[in-house]
Amino acid sequence: MPTAPSSLARRNVRIAAICGVVLFGMVGAAYAAVPLYRAFCQLTGFDGTIRKAEAAPSKVLDRTLTIRFDANVRDLPWDFKPSQVTQQVKIGATGLAFYKVTNHGKQAITGRASYNVVPEAAGAYFQKLECFCFSDQTIQPGQSVEFPVVYFVDPQFATDFETKGKTEVTLSYTFFPVESQQANALAPASPLGGAAKAGL
């Protein structure tokens, strides 16, 4: 028996509605994928991503690691470099390092620092208490800012079969421009909530 025109129309409407929902769901998932992936990496240390910590560990091991520091810029007229090449820090102890940024451009520019560690397996244990990479940073023309990084290596680093034999960890940052530049409307970058060190 042939399908009634009204039934056929209702079926077509249902199919169209289902396709629309699937399409919008796929578009939403695509937009959410990047921030969700970043959040996952920060939570788990996956892909060498450093985790943000709430507090330093209470246990400090009698074993020292060499921490190396690296800095890069992408599509920015900035000079960006670590203030120290290496540091010696005991596993579980809190370390303090500095990075210096100078804007050689003619206008204020907002950048964001991405980061990772090598070896990648150390990303689960290299954690930061304070870092300029947690938020966008606006640097005024000709301004230099020195940013602190407060970090530690979790004691479990010494027992994980992938990291327990490692003696060095490299912390690497890359500054890239924020897509929506509203630098002139934003306040200058400020390390640890204090005044920016201009002209350093």
Residue 47 pLDDT > 50, yes or no? Answer: no
Length of the chain equals 200
* Better pLDDT: 180 or 170: 170
Torsional class of 121: left (φ above 0), alpha (ψ -120 to 50), beta (otherwise)? alpha
CA 140 to mean position of chain CA atoms: 22
pLDDT score recorded for residue 16: 72
The C-alpha angle 90, 94, 96, rounded to 5 degrees, equals: 110
Domain 51-191, CATH homologous superfamily name and number:
Ctag/Cox11 (2.60.370.10)
Cis peptide before 5 (omega within 30 of 0): no
Over residues 151-170, the pLDDT tens digits come to: 999 999 999 999 999 999 99
pLDDT score recorded for residue 3: 52
Query: Which segments of the chain are extended strands (E)?
Result: 51-52, 64-73, 78-82, 86-90, 94-103, 109-118, 126-130, 137-139, 144-153, 168-177
Q: What is the SS3 assignment for 162?
A: coil
Of the pLDDT bands very low, low, confident and very high (cuts 50, 70, 90), residue 180 is low
Of the pLDDT bands very low, low, confident and very high (cuts 50, 70, 90), residue 49 is low
Of the pLDDT bands very low, low, confident and very high (cuts 50, 70, 90), residue 55 is confident
Of the pLDDT bands very low, low, confident and very high (cuts 50, 70, 90), residue 147 is very high
* 108 CB-side CA count, 13 A: 16
CA 101 to mean position of chain CA atoms: 17
